[in-house]
Structure 1
Amino acid sequence: MAAANHPSAKNALIVGASRGLGLGLVETFLARGWRVTATQRNASPGLAALKSEALTIETADIDDDAAVSGLHDRLASQTFDLVFVVAGVATQAHDPLHAVPRQVAAQVYLTNAISPVRFAETFRDRLAPGGSLVFMSSILGSVGLNTSGGWENYRASKAALNTLVRSFAIRHQAEALSVVLMHPGWVRTEMGGAEADIDVATSVGGMADVIEARLGQPGTMYLDYRGETLAW
């Protein structure tokens, strides 16, 4: 499914858009007049149902360097005002760390912390002037705000993401990149569960507002979906 050419529209790359927040972000930015390239790891009925001339669907697994490189090649003619890495996993998130098999714990860390930064490194040259790199973090990644425990391995993976993204931005500080680590709120998704505080529409609408208001602002920010700054 190829995007139509709308020269005046902003261009977004939403990475990990098969369902939940990623899919909601695609819908929201399309509704706001953006062109969107959305990635899926496997075929997504939700994405396929979003029939729009402004939408391009690509398949790539961020844990696969060759797949990311291939995606980079396929998108060689494009630059993006927004690159938003949403993809993440919460495997055995409710189990204490010692109860999670080492291989499972390591895979959560790779997917949630390592792969997003490697993706950003590969796609940094696709960011348009005045654009932003956004990473889906979580308030659970805040060390200072961890007063309740739980979700141990997932928390650690998001704290690692926050640290690695800050290091990535410092490594490229001469480029004055606009980088945002985003907490979507506790959202009623497959990951967030039915008891969560807010629905997908509230979360993605808020995140889109924050992104559009701060697009291209240099520096590294850790914000929630309302635009509030979080403690590291």
Structure 2
Amino acid sequence: MSTTSNRTALVIGASRGLGLVLAGELARRGWHVIATTRRNGGELQANADASNGRLEIESLEMTSSEELAALRERLEGRRLDLLFVNAAINRGNLPIHEVSTDVFTEVMTTNALSPLRALETLRGLVAPGGTVAVMSSDQGSISRNTDGGYELYKASKAALNQLMRSYATRHADDGHTKLLIDPGHNRTELGGPDAPLDPQESIPAVADVLEAQTGAPGLQFLDLHGETVPW
């Protein structure tokens, strides 16, 4: 791992919401942060302009294998202490039999398949002892699915968790810490205006967990307090 003052993080999906706040929080803590976005400008660019070089921006459409490969090529020679993938969409609260095939494919591709493609493409940049992490949700916990609703979103997060388990099994000996993070229900475009958590308060707690787990073996599914989330 790099020394504290030279830590580098790549945050995939940082143009808004939790990813935007996480990129800013890590930069505030002294990390050098590479943050990806699908579109130029906005708050992420403003944060980068004010960061004294601690935050840089890369363009990426994460669902594109070609763009992932191009990003990997552009970052050749860089070494990451943290690779964090943040991606999720929600297409409404329909029972699964009312969801169209196109919408099912879109949500599963964005929420489950693409994060693992990103990890596989970029994991070679992660330093020995580094961390690979994905933003999950307790909505992906099968044992906690007792209230009903949002069936497709829940299924996509459960699929993400299962695929991350397969990834961790396949790469068990690579020396990387592997984390699934449940940030709680936050007031974002995805979480809605009535969510109980403010990202400006919850994401620093997530950053605490990421830093505290550095070097931990195996795969863990943790919430923003560092507590284990049941599968």
TM-score range, shorter chain: over 0.9
Deviation at 1:49, TM superposition (A): 0.7
Corresponding position of 1:219 = 218
Alignment partner, residue 77 of structure 1: 77
Map of 2:111 onto structure 1: 112
CA offsets 1:144-168 (integer angstroms, 9 cap, x no match): 1111011100000000000000101
Partner SS for 1:117: helix
Provide the residue aligned with 2:7 in structure 1.
10
Tell me the residue number matched to 1:22: 19
Q: TM-score, normalised by structure 2?
A: 0.95
Residues 7 and 73 (structure 1), Cα distance of their counterparts in 2 relative to 1, 3 Å cut: farther
Q: 170-179 or 147-156: which moved more? A: 170-179
The RMSD of aligned alpha carbons is 1.3
Q: TM-score, normalised by structure 1?
A: 0.94
Asked if structure 1 preserves the Cα contact closer than 8 Å seen for 2:87 and 2:135, the reply is: yes
Q: Give the whole-Å Cα distance in 2 for the aligned partners of 1:128 and 1:112.
A: 25
| 8 Å Cα contact 2:135/2:181 also seen in 1 | yes
CA distance in structure 1 between the partners assigned to 2:215 and 2:36 by the alignment: 22
SS of the aligned residue for 2:210 comes to helix
1:105 is paired with a residue whose SS is: helix
Unaligned runs of 5+ in 2: none
- Separation (CA, whole Å) in 1 of partners of 2:221 and 2:37: 25
Conservation of the 8 A alpha-carbon contact between 1:169 and 1:177: no
Contact 1:18 1:46 in 2 (8 A): yes
Query: In structure 1, how many angstroms separate the alpha carbons of the residues matched to 2:144 and 2:22?
Result: 26
Once the 2 structures are TM-superposed, how far is the Cα of residue 179 of structure 1 from its aligned partner? 0.6
- Summarize the alignment of residues 48-197 of structure 1 with structure 2, pairs less than 5 Å apart: 48-50=45-47, 51=49, 52=51, 53-92=53-92, 94-197=93-196
Deviation at 1:88, TM superposition (A): 1.7
Instruction: Tell me which residue corresponds to 1:3.
Output: none
Q: Which runs of 5+ in 1 are unaligned?
A: 1-5
Number of matched residues? 226
Query: In 2, Cα distance between the equivalents of 1:82 and 1:165?
Result: 16
- Give how far 1:8 is off: 3.4
Tell me what 1:43 maps to.
40
| SS at structure 2 position matched to 1:135 | strand
Once the two structures are TM-superposed, the CA of residue 7 in structure 1 deviates from its matched residue by: 9.0
CA contact (8 A) 2:5 2:31 kept: no
Letter in 1 for 2:73: D
Aligned-partner residue type, residue 83 of structure 1: L
Q: Tell me the amino acid that sits aligned with residue 32 of structure 1.
A: R
